[in-house]
A and B are shown apart, each in its own frame.
Chain A
Amino acid sequence: QVHLVESGGAVVQPGRSLRISCEASGFSFRNHGMHWVRRAPGRGLEWVAVIYYDGSTKEYADFVKGRFTVSRDNGKRKLYLQMDSLGVDDTALYLCARDRTMYYHGMDVWGQGTMVSVSS
């Protein structure tokens, strides 16, 4: 069964860093692009980043460029999001999602998310 499980969410202070993870099972992880998407309280889905199947290309939403870094370890079947200089507006449920293809043609499997709260 295809599964994505996020972890690492926490309450952090503004300006601090946090790394969240997503562990994949039930499919060939190395053959799929992977996305991070977030949903802040009271708001809609907001795309954060995508990484190609081999890690060769990464694209980011404008609001995280220079602060967040997406990476993957195909041997461990894991996706990561390193978040630096966190602000209160980054408070959200962070979801990882599998792309249907090796690149960025749309998500077809999602995790349930891990909560990140930025507060002093």
Chain B
Amino acid sequence: QSVLTQPPSMSAAPGRLVTISCSGTNSNIGINSVSWYRHLPGTAPKLLAFDNNKRPSGVPDRFSASKSGTSATLGIAGIQSGDEADYYCGTWDSRLSQWVFGGGTKLTVL
């Protein structure tokens, strides 16, 4: 059972918008910044967003992230077949003194 809650799977047709949610508590998302990652097994995970809503250089602007209270969201616009991967939110949990990830959302492009 992960500390952060994400939907296990989502699917979307090419060109559509997908929003992936990440729910936490006042000891993690509520007081610390959230990062988002993409991982395709066999490759290195990739940072998609940090500090709740900032995009690293090189990440297309069709990826957007936000945070409100104890929840965070990653949006992917204009879905492409290459977006099929597992997506994770993560943040520091100040009560546990541990980094925590969501359980991951497997995105399927129809």
Contacts and interface: CB of A to CB of B under 8 A. Distances in A.
Interface residues of A, number: 27
Contacts of A107: 35, 37, 45, 47, 90
A59 B50 contact: no
Nearest to B47: A108
Interface string B31-52: 0010101010111111100110
A53 interface: no
A106 B2 CA distance: 17
Q: How large is the interface on B (under 10, 10 to 19, 20 to 34, 35 or more residues)?
A: 20 to 34
A112 B40 CA distance: 10
Interface stretch (A43-51, A67-75, A83-91): A43-51
Interface of B: 2, 33, 35, 37, 39, 41-47, 50-51, 56, 86, 88, 90-92, 96-104
Given A45-B90, A104-B92, A106-B90, 16 more contacts: A35-B99, A39-B41, A44-B86, A44-B103, A44-B104, A45-B101, A46-B101, A47-B99, A47-B100, A50-B99, A59-B98, A61-B98, A62-B96, A107-B90, A109-B47, A110-B44
